[in-house]
């Protein structure tokens, strides 16, 4: 019971506190732990005392109530016992035979009664009541002792086990007095029955528990099965999702959208603007999301700032989102651009893009054909792009470059393709790591030798070109080592070393050769250590070759043998072959080994941002060829005193030789109208086909084709007319933009006119010159020149001959010229404008011609000539003048006649 448990708790707390009392001699180091233990025990004891006090209060209250109930119940038992006692235990004890008379009491006491006279039930009831009364008295003693114990605990705060055992003894005695033997038997029977039932219940509960556990296990198994099935299903769904995601992200599974374009003369396009392959779905692309356009006109192509050495091999492709939103895909889209094959050797294909109208930049690309294109001859380049609102793409071919990376901290490096150049980039020149693209044209000297116009020029360096991905913030220094030497009396062996110097510097395995020469005793220890201390291979090679400045036969043999022993026999063969060549040249023509001399000098020229070439200043070191120069591109050995402009022009010609096309200008005149001209600039190999095409278009006659001249892709040809012929238009200059990919861009048709018909009176035709020049700067032949054009004076072909006009037109012109100048209305200028449909350009052209052709210069003659010239430009079958106001282009004439009230007179004249 809870109250006894409370007492047990008090005993437990007392035991704990006794232990704490015995532990007060702990060391100082354990004092903190002991303090925590005492605090915890004190708190728990406080809570326990409160609980016991509460129990004591409730027990006192309940005992008082119970004592009152027992008292009342005992009184009731006493009343019942009194009633039974008064009733007696014998039947008919008050009958007459037994009552009255002297001596009746003794008689009654000794008289024996039969059993039937004894009221057994009443006696049993009396015994039971007495027993109950005794039990109540015993219970009252238990209550009294319990109250005493509680009072003792309340007053003294302690109790003894004897007190507790005394209460338990009276309580057990009271309990035993509650039952009889039969009751005990019954209680035992009931106890056994209860145990039996408990066993059965326990068994039943065990069975039920087993069933429950079995059911629970079954349910768990089913849940586990469902969980595994769900997990398997989820994994399967996830696997399918992952497969779909992988398939969705797999470029091989992406659809390919082909965007068509208008038909074009370039067959490589195959009617395709571009092809796009992209991821689909949520953050993907559908075909209708973008609009693609291919641009080929020279106006559109000028949007791309093309370098001189680049050749366009694709149209300018524009890609824009249809709804104007940014294209932002989960993965970059693939764009396939159709390209033409490049016919030029040693070139690479490069793709440049401009995103959102920003700066053009290089992007990685590779040649790959989109799926769905069956034409085997079709060529495409592939780029991957993402995150743009507008995109422009163009593909060019350019000379191959060596690509490097320059750190933001700067540094120096040598291109592997030419170790005669060293580039020095200062720290802070670029804000980030920047790509450097270096090109070298080593064939420049051979092309210059083959061209007679450069017979007085020698090439001192290769043609170098440097391009950075970002703009440089500081000057970049370039060290270049030209291929020249000062003319002096030197041996043939020394000439060979000098002539092969650049090749040796670039290809020689310096350390191996130097080590071999040192081993053979040809160079000293100090020289070998100095060579090894140099930073770059080029510097090491140049230091080694310094030992051979005064090369004799022994040194020449030593270096050739060292090259052969170190597996560089190709260089040894080059030295020996050069030796034979020089000997043959000197034997035949004397030495022409050209270097810097009293009459020749080295000039360095450069072209910044692919602009005009300029002569640069150089800083010389003590010994040529070493020089320290900034951003040099090309070194030339030119006659001393040559004008810088001439040097720049030569450099420009040499540069263009590397990248230009051989082209010619074809000018043809219409078979029916010699004043109508068509001019085309075409590649020389295609000139015959171009002439045939012009012939089919009705342009067969014309001057001979121009001489072949060189032109770079994207250059402009400026055409002017001089002499007695002029352009019949407001503009006086025709500009052609040459693109090898799009020949139609370098063609134009125009009208020509006679400047002065009174001039060239003795000639059969009016003639003049069509002059052309490549670019805006005056060029020398063959990049400039002229062809002669002529307009015959034959009556059938003369465009302005009045006799070719119908008689009604001549009559109307003469009559109107006689009448109109004398009248205030209409004004002559308004009348002229009405004839040419208010076109002021036509008005000025015809009016200028009329002013020149009018001999007297009077308004009447000018008016007549104006009307005739206007009429001569109209179709021959057109009814220019009629007796009735019909719908014809010369309605303005009738308007003028109406204003002058002369319509009837003219009709009469015509009739």
38 and 159 housed in the same domain: yes
30 and 66 housed in the same domain: yes
Query: Which of 160, 176, 192 represents a domain boundary (last residue)?
Result: 176
Q: Mark residue 901 as left, alpha or beta (left: phi above 0; alpha: psi -120 to 50; beta: remaining).
A: left
Instruction: Write down the pLDDT at residue 458.
Output: 83
How many Å apart are CA 707 and CA 668, to the nearest integer? 15
Q: Would you say residue 617 lies in a domain?
A: no
Hey, how many other C-beta atoms are within 10 angstroms of the C-beta on 753?
A: 22
* CATH at residue 534: 1.10.533.10
Instruction: Write down the pLDDT at residue 149.
Output: 66
Q: Helix (H) and strand (E) counts for the chain? A: 23, 33
3-state DSSP assignment of residue 4: helix
Long-range contacts of 673-676 (CB under 8 A, 24+ apart): 673/799, 674/701, 674/790, 674/791, 674/792, 674/797, 674/799, 675/728, 675/751, 675/752, 675/753, 675/791, 675/799, 676/749, 676/750, 676/751
> Which one is predicted more confidently, 778 or 29?
778
Q: Which of 150-159, 327-336, 555-564, 798-807 has the lowest mean pLDDT?
A: 798-807
727 and 775 housed in the same domain: yes
Mean pLDDT of the chain: 76
> Which one is predicted more confidently, 802 or 636?
636
How many Å apart are CA 415 and CA 437, to the nearest integer? 10
775 and 843 housed in the same domain: no
Q: Would you say residue 219 lies in a domain?
A: no
- Number of domains the chain is built from: 5
CB of 283 closer than 8 Å to CB of 354: no
Instruction: Write down the pLDDT at residue 589.
Output: 39
507-528 pLDDT, tens digit each: 888 888 888 888 888 888 888 8
Q: Would you say residue 466 lies in a domain?
A: no
544-558 pLDDT, tens digit each: 888 887 788 888 888
Angle at 9 between CA 8 and CA 12, to 5 degrees: 90
Q: If you ran DSSP here, which 8-state letter would residue 442 be given?
A: T
822 and 873 housed in the same domain: yes
* CATH at residue 669: 2.60.40.2660
Instruction: Write down the pLDDT at residue 691.
Output: 92
776 and 669 housed in the same domain: yes
Indicate if the pLDDT at residue 202 is higher than 50. Answer: yes
Instruction: Write down the pLDDT at residue 902.
Output: 45
Query: Which of 558, 592, 626 represents a domain boundary (last residue)?
Result: 592
Indicate if the pLDDT at residue 413 is higher than 80. Answer: no
Give the range with max mean pLDDT: 18-22, 146-150, 190-194, 351-355. Answer: 351-355
680 and 824 housed in the same domain: no
**Cα dist from 716 to 457, 663, 710, 712, 783, whole Å:** 28, 13, 12, 9, 11
Kindly state the average pLDDT of the residues 44-71: 72
> Which one is predicted more confidently, 565 or 134?
565
167 and 30 housed in the same domain: yes
Percent of the chain with pLDDT over 90: 11
271 and 317 housed in the same domain: yes
Indicate if the pLDDT at residue 897 is higher than 70. Answer: no
Kindly state the average pLDDT of the residues 771-786: 87
Choose among 327, 335, 324: nearest CA to 284.
327
Kindly state the average pLDDT of the residues 865-871: 84
Q: Would you say residue 836 lies in a domain?
A: yes
278 and 348 housed in the same domain: yes
Q: Rounded to 5 degrees, what are φ and ψ at 808?
A: -60, -35
Residues ≥6 apart with Cβ < 8 Å to 312 = 301, 306, 394, 395, 396, 713, 714, 739, 740, 741, 742
149 and 20 housed in the same domain: yes
Instruction: Write down the pLDDT at residue 786.
Output: 92
pLDDT band of residue 885 (cuts 50, 70, 90) is: very low
697-707 pLDDT, tens digit each: 999 889 999 99
Query: Which of 592, 622, 647 represents a domain boundary (last residue)?
Result: 592
Q: Would you say residue 609 lies in a domain?
A: no
Q: Would you say residue 415 lies in a domain?
A: no
Indicate if the pLDDT at residue 336 is higher than 90. Answer: yes
Q: Would you say residue 346 lies in a domain?
A: yes
Percent of the chain with pLDDT over 70: 73
Determine the length of the chain.
911
472-516 pLDDT, tens digit each: 777 777 777 776 544 344 577 877 887 788 788 888 888 888 888
In which domain, by residue range, is 874 found? 802-910
773 and 682 housed in the same domain: yes
Q: Would you say residue 428 lies in a domain?
A: no
Residues ≥6 apart with Cβ < 8 Å to 498 = 485, 490, 593, 595
pLDDT band of residue 295 (cuts 50, 70, 90) is: confident
233-258 pLDDT, tens digit each: 888 888 888 888 888 888 888 899 99
* CATH at residue 278: 2.60.220
Instruction: Write down the pLDDT at residue 911.
Output: 44
826-866 pLDDT, tens digit each: 788 888 888 887 877 788 888 888 887 777 778 888 888 88
Instruction: Write down the pLDDT at residue 292.
Output: 92
């Amino acid at each position: 019971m809870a109250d006894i448990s409370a007492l047990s708790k008090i005993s437990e707390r007392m035991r704990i506190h006794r232990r704490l009392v015995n532990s007060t001699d702990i060391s100082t180091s354990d004092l903190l732990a002991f303090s925590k233990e005492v605090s915890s025990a004190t708190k728990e004891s406080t809570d326990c005392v409160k609980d016991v006090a509460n129990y004591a209060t409730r027990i006192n209250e309940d005992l008082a109530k119970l004592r009152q109930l027992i008292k009342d119940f005992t009184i009731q038992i006493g009343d019942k016992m009194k009633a039974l006692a008064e009733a007696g235990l014998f039947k008919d004890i008050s009958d007459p035979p037994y009552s009255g008379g002297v001596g009746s009491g003794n008689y009654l006491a000794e008289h024996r009664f039969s059993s039937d006279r004894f009221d057994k039930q009443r006696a049993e009831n009396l015994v039971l009541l007495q027993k109950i009364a005794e039990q109540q008295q015993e219970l009252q003693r238990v209550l009294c002792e319990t109250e005493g114990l509680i009072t003792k605990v309340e007053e003294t705060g302690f109790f003894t086990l004897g007190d507790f055992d005394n209460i338990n003894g009276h309580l057990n005695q009271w309990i035993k007095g509650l039952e009889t033997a039969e009751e005990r038997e019954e209680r035992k029977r009931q106890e056994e029955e209860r145990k039996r039932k408990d066993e059965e219940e326990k068994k039943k509960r065990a069975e039920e528990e087993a069933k429950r556990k079995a059911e629970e296990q079954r349910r768990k198994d089913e849940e586990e099965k469902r969980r595994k099935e769900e997990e398997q299903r989820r994994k399967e769904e996830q696997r399918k999702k992952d497969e779909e995601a992988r398939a969705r992200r797999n470029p091989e599974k992406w659809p390919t959208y082909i965007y068509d374009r208008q038909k074009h003369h370039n067959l490589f396009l195959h009617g395709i603007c571009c092809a796009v392959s992209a991821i689909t779905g949520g953050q993907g692309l559908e075909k209708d999301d973008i609009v693609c356009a291919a641009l080929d006109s020279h106006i559109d192509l000028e949007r791309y700032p093309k370098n001189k050495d680049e050749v366009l091999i694709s149209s300018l492709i524009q890609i824009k989102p249809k709804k104007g939103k940014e294209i932002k895909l989960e993965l970059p889209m693939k764009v396939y651009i159709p390209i033409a094959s490049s016919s030029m050797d040693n070139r690479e294909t490069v793709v440049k893009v401009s995103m959102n109208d920003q700066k053009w930049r290089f992007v990685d690309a590779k040649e790959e054909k989109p799926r769905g294109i069956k034409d085997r001859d079709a060529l495409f380049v592939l780029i991957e792009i993402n995150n743009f609102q507008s995109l422009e793409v163009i593909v060019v071919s350019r000379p191959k470059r060596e690509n490097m990376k320059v750190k933001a901290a700067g540094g120096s490096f040598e291109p592997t393709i030419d170790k005669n150049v060293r580039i020095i980039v200062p720290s802070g020149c670029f804000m980030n790591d920047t790509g450097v693209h270096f090109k070298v044209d080593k064939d420049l000297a051979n092309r210059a030798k083959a061209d007679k116009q450069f017979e007085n020029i020698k090439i001192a360096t290769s043609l170098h070109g440097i391009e950075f991905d970002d703009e440089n913030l500081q000057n970049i220094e370039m060290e270049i080592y030209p291929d020249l030497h000062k003319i002096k009396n030197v041996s043939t062996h020394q000439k060979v070393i000098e002539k092969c110097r650049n090749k040796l510097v670039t290809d020689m395995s310096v350390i191996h050769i130097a080590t071999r020469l040192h081993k053979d005793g040809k160079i000293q220890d100090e020289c070998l250590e100095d060579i090894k201390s140099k930073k770059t291979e080029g510097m090491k090679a140049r230091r080694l070759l310094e030992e051979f400045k005064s090369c004799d036969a022994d040194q020449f043999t030593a270096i050739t043998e060292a090259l052969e022993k170190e597996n560089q026999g190709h260089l040894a063969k080059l030295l020996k072959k050069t030796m034979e060549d020089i000997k043959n040249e000197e034997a035949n023509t004397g030495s022409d080994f050209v270097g810097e001399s009293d009459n020749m000098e080295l000039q360095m020229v450069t072209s910044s941002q692919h602009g005009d070439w300029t002569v640069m200043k150089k800083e010389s070191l003590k010994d040529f060829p070493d020089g320290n120069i900034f951003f040099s591109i090309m070194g030339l050995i030119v006659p001393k005193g040559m004008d810088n402009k001439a040097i720049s022009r030569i450099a420009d010609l040499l540069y263009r030789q590397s990248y230009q096309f051989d082209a010619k200008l074809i000018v043809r005149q219409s078979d029916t109208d010699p004043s109508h001209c068509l001019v085309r600039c075409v590649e020389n190999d295609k000139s015959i086909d171009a002439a045939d095409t012009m012939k089919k278009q009705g342009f067969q006659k014309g001057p001979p084709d121009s001489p072949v001249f060189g032109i770079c892709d994207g250059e402009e040809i400026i055409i002017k007319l001089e002499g007695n012929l002029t352009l019949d238009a407001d503009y006086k200059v025709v500009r052609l933009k040459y693109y090898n990919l799009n020949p139609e861009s370098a063609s134009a048709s125009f009208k020509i006119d006679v400047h002065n018909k009174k001039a060239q009176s003795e000639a059969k035709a009016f003639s003049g010159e069509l002059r052309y020049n490549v670019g805006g700067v005056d060029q020398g032949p063959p990049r400039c020149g002229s062809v002669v054009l002529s307009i015959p004076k034959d009556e059938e072909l003369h465009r302005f001959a009045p006799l070719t006009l119908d008689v009604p037109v001549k009559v109307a012109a003469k009559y109107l010229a006689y009448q109109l100048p004398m009248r205030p209305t209409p004004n002559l200028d308004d009348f002229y404008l009405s004839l040419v449909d208010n076109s002021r350009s036509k008005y000025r052209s015809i009016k200028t011609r009329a002013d020149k052709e009018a001999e007297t210069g009077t308004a009447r003659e000018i008016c007549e000539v104006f009307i005739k010239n206007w009429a001569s430009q109209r179709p021959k079958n057109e009814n220019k003048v009629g007796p009735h106001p019909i719908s014809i282009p010369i309605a303005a004439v009738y308007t003028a006649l109406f204003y002058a009230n002369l319509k009837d007179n003219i009709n009469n004249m015509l009739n």
